[in-house]
C-alpha cells in the first residue's frame, strides 16, 4: 500500500480553474510553515502543531524530492505559482486505512470548491493506494467541516470527548470534542458485522442510531 497511485489520483481530480494540486517540495517547506501560522493560528497547540516544524516535513513526510515511501503525504494547491492550501494524508498499511491529518487554506482562497478537495482527495487517494477505510476528525467549533464531510457522503460514526487541545479563545487552551467521519472503501461482504448478542444495551442503542438495526 504505497503512494504510487497518488499522482494519478491528483491528475484525475477536478480543481477550480487556475489551481493545481501537487506534492509539497522540500524547497517550499520553510515558506509554507510561515504561511500556516497566518492561515491557521490555532495550530500552535494540539496534535497538529507538528506542521509548524520544518523537521516534521523533512523527516516524516513524502515530499516530492523523497524517494522512499513514507506514511504521510503532503499535498498543496497552487494558484499562479503560489501555495494557497495544504493537506497532509496519512496511511496505515497494516490496517489499510487513510486519514487526513490537517488541512489549511489561505483566507483569500477559501470557498466551498477548494475546501471540498480535502474529503474528496482523502477518498480518491485511499482508493488509489488500496485503503479499505477513509476517516478523519472534524472540529465542532463551527459546522463547516461537518457540512463538507456530509456533502461527500462520509458517515458520522462518533464524537470523541477531549480528543485534542485547541485554542478556544486567544490565550486560552482547552481540550475539545471532535466528530469522527468515515467512509468504507470495500464492499459489504468484506465486513464482519457483530451480532446484537455481543453488544450491551447502551452499545446497541448507539449502533442503532449510527448504523441501523443489527442481525439477531
What per-residue confidence (pLDDT) applies to 66?
96
* Residues 195-206, mean pLDDT to the nearest whole number: 95
Q: Given its phi and psi angles, is residue 212 left (phi above 0), alpha (psi -120 to 50 degrees) or beta?
A: left
* Residues 4-22, mean pLDDT to the nearest whole number: 93
Predicted confidence band at 112 (pLDDT cuts at 50, 70, 90)?
A: confident
pTM recorded for the entire structure? 0.95
Q: Which of 118, 120, 103, 101 lies closest to 32, judged by CA?
A: 103
- 179 contact partners, CB below 8 Å, separation of at least 6: 137, 138, 139, 140, 145, 146, 149, 156, 158, 159, 160
Beta strand 172-184 pairing with 133-139: antiparallel
CA distance 194 to 214: 8
Give the residue, 113 or 119, on which the prediction is more confident.
119
- Site of grid cell 524547497: 27
Under 8 Å between Cβ of 181 and 157: yes
CA distance 76 to 114: 11
- What number of helices (H) and strands (E) belong to the chain? 7, 7
Under 8 Å between Cβ of 120 and 127: no
Give percent of the chain above pLDDT 70. 100
pLDDT digits (tens, 9 = 90+) for 157-190: 999 999 999 999 999 999 999 999 999 999 999 9
Q: What is the mean pLDDT of the chain?
A: 95
Give the CA-trace dihedral at 101, 209, 153, 183, to 10 degrees.
Answer: 50
CA distance 83 to 98: 24
pLDDT digits (tens, 9 = 90+) for 58-80: 999 999 999 999 999 999 999 99
Is residue 116 over pLDDT 90?
A: no
What is the CA 143 to chain-centroid distance, rounded? 16
Provide CATH 3.40.630.30 ranges for the chain: 3-185
What per-residue confidence (pLDDT) applies to 114?
87
Number of residues assigned to the chain? 216
What per-residue confidence (pLDDT) applies to 52?
98
Q: Which CATH class is domain 3-185?
A: alpha beta
* Residues 47-54, mean pLDDT to the nearest whole number: 97
Is residue 115 over pLDDT 80?
A: yes
Amino acid at each position: 500500500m504505497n503512494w504510487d497511485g497518488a499522482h494519478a489520483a491528483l491528475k484525475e481530480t477536478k480543481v477550480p480553474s487556475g489551481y493545481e494540486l501537487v506534492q509539497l517540495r522540500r524547497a517550499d517547506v520553510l515558506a509554507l510553515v510561515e504561511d500556516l501560522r497566518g492561515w491557521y493560528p490555532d495550530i500552535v497547540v494540539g496534535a497538529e502543531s507538528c506542521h509548524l516544524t520544518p523537521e516534521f516535513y523533512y523527516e516524516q513526510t513524502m515530499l516530492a524530492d523523497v524517494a522512499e515511501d513514507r506514511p504521510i503525504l503532503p499535498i498543496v494547491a497552487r494558484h499562479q505559482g503560489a501555495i494557497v492550501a495544504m493537506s497532509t494524508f496519512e496511511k496505515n498499511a497494516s490496517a489499510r486505512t487513510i486519514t487526513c491529518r490537517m488541512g489549511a487554506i489561505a483566507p483569500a482562497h477559501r470557498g466551498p470548491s477548494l475546501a471540498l478537495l480535502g474529503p474528496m482527495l482523502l477518498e480518491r487517494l485511499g482508493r488509489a493506494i488500496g485503503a479499505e477505510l477513509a476517516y478523519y476528525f472534524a472540529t465542532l467549533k463551527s459546522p463547516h467541516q461537518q457540512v463538507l464531510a456530509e456533502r461527500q457522503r462520509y458517515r458520522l460514526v462518533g464524537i470523541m470527548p477531549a480528543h485534542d487541545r485547541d485554542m478556544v479563545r486567544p490565550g486560552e487552551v482547552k481540550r475539545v470534542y471532535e466528530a469522527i467521519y468515515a467512509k468504507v472503501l470495500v464492499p459489504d461482504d468484506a465486513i464482519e458485522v457483530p451480532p446484537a448478542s455481543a453488544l450491551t444495551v447502551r452499545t446497541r442503542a448507539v449502533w442503532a442510531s449510527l448504523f441501523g438495526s443489527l442481525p439477531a
